[in-house]
Structure 1
Amino acid sequence: MFEIFTQGFSFLNLLSILAFFTTVGLFFCGIPICRQIWKRKDTKEISGAPFLMGVVGGCCWMTYGWLKNDGTVKWVTGCQVILYTTYTIFYWCMTKKKLWITLKVLGVIGICTSLVLGVHFFGMKIFHPLGIVCLTLNIADFAAPLGGIRVVIRRWATSTLPLPLCIANFLVSTEWFLYGLLKNDFYLIFPNGVGSLLAFIQLLLFIVLPRKPGQRAPIVRLWLWIRGVKVEETKEIVAELGECDEKKMNRAQRWSQKIKMNVSTVAENWRM
């Protein structure tokens, strides 16, 4: 990965450096969760599954990089295993009910040990099965933010989607997609290509939908700005209807109110 300092500049080496720093930077997303646990002095209502899956995913890709002798993959996933292992140990120390998390940790240790032993004893015979496992884990990881898409559609706003994470996923998946193309590695190309597409779709939602209910979407604001129309932000529909009225209304009635409000707003804009 660091051949750029010894063998001269190349696009592949530069891309390797960028992929290393952006991906490892993404792995630090566990720190805010740990801070939240530290403030609570307990892990109640906070799942340790992301940390455990981070260890498993990192170990899978690390053994894959070991088989391919890919230095970039080994360095990045080595950092991932170290960081997520640290998060897991912290989670275990802070939780009060240690039996269930201990069983999970032992299960993860068993999986990682099996991966290392499998690579050691069977070598390239497990290359394709291991590649499929890594591919599946990557796609599941990139698609995770889409889990809240139902809330986004229901609220017709992107306030529940993490914009920084979506941007980071797009950058990381695109970099690894290009890296896979240069290395002609299908197991890097396919999952990161899908991840880049999913992240791009998530970013489009931030353009075509408002950040909060009742606001205008950025693309609508841009259109109004191009036309030179100055219109104040509409208040949230919930505030206009009143909390009591909203509770009494069913979903169809709420959507009807939203449609009426949008039609009246557009009519006002055209009159202006």
Structure 2
Amino acid sequence: MVQLAFLFGLGGNIVSFMVFLAPLATFYKIYKKKSSEGFQSIPYVVGLFSAMLWMYYAFLKSDTTLLITINSVGCVVQTIYISFYLFYATRQARIQTAKLLLGLIVVGYGLIIVLTQLLSKGQARAEIVGWICLVFALCVFVAPLAIVRQVIRTKSVEYMPFLLSLFLTLSAVMWFFYGLLLKDFNIAIPNILGFFFGVLQMILYLIYKNKKKIVEPTLPEIQTQIIVLEEHKLPELQEQILDVIKLSAIVSSEIHPMVPPQIIIPMNPNGDGKNGDENKILAVQVKEAASN
């Protein structure tokens, strides 16, 4: 039983190490851009806190050497990621990351150690820390719900790589059986949820991998009013269009003065030059309406 647990723990170390390497593509992009703009440090700070928390729990338990090894590697890797992020981050991003490190690592982790050392001892201390690890791990495993929601909404798996989902699922399987064989349910239980969400992500990947991505309009696109008129409708719609232009100009100048409404008025599609004067007159009226 112990040997089988060792094999699953070893497998968990290998797969988890592959998961730790997944953000390398992200940091290569940061290196190429020479800026961390568009990326957040939250996943790496949370990853560091999680690794430190599980290491503390492993030191309080017996026969958890493999839990110590992988989380030691995790602490080193996440620290490198955070340092790299801070090197290329903007001043505001550095301040936010520093606050997060102070609140989660220094205050949060520090309080857990101090309170558990003062208020408990022996097996009771290990059980309390184990419950803290269990609750935190469940919260971390629920995080992919945001990615799942984005995939369903956009019908795109651009930000949910299949290999990462596969490795997360395998990792959950390895650590579940490792905890189960050691009869440590603080390790086993969270990985049930991890396995469920991993399988869900892979299913969604297979469903949406060939779907056309739904592009959501950006703010300037929403603010910009584009009106295409057919020539034969110009006489009947002229008054309504002028009213719309006036309203659009007012709203656009109030919301975003730098994004004026755009009006597209096609000429005669037959190219025979008819109604050209009417088009010119309407264009002048549109220009005057927008300026007013």
Q: Which range, TM-score by smaller chain?
A: 0.5 to 0.7
Cα deviation code 1:154-176 (max 9, x no counterpart): 34554553211110111000011
Q: Secondary structure at the match of 1:10?
A: helix
TM superposition score normalised by structure 2: 0.64
Query: Which stretch shifts more, 134-143 or 79-88?
Result: 134-143
Structure 2: gaps of 5 or more residues: 216-225, 228-292
Distance in structure 1 (CA, Å) of the matches to 2:133 and 2:166? 22
Equivalence map 1:1-272=2 (5 Å): 10-69=3-62, 70-97=64-91, 98-107=94-103, 108-118=105-115, 120-121=117-118, 122-123=120-121, 124-156=123-155, 158-207=157-206, 209-213=207-211
Code of the aligned partner of 1:111? G
Distance in 2, matches of 1:159 and 1:32, equals: 13
Amino acid at match of 2:100: K
Contact 1:65 1:71 in 2 (8 A): yes
SS at match of 1:54: helix
Would you say the 8 A contact 2:54–2:133 is kept in 1?
yes
CA distance in structure 1 between the partners assigned to 2:202 and 2:160 by the alignment: 10
Q: CA deviation at 1:130?
A: 2.1
Aligned residues: 210
Are the equivalent residues in 2 in contact too, given 1:145–1:161 (CA < 8 A)?
no
Opposite residue 77 of structure 1, the aligned amino acid is: N
SS across alignment from 2:143: helix
Question: Does the Cα contact within 8 Å between 1:142 and 1:169 map onto a contact in 2?
Answer: no
Distance 1:158 1:96, change over 3 A: closer
2-structure distance, mates of 1:160, 1:30: 12
Question: Aligned-residue CA RMSD in angstroms?
Answer: 2.7
Distance 1:21 1:212, change over 3 A: same
What is the deviation of 1:13? Answer: 2.1
2:97 aligned partner, one-letter code: I
Q: How far apart are the structure 1 equivalents of 2:25 and 2:116?
A: 34
Q: Which runs of 5+ in 1 are unaligned?
A: 1-8, 215-235, 239-246, 249-272
Relative distance call for 1:160 and 1:80 in structure 2 (3 A) is: closer
Kindly, what percent of the aligned residue pairs are identical? 22
How far did residue 43 of structure 1 move? 1.8
Higher RCO structure, 1 or 2 (CA under 8 Å, sep 6+): 2
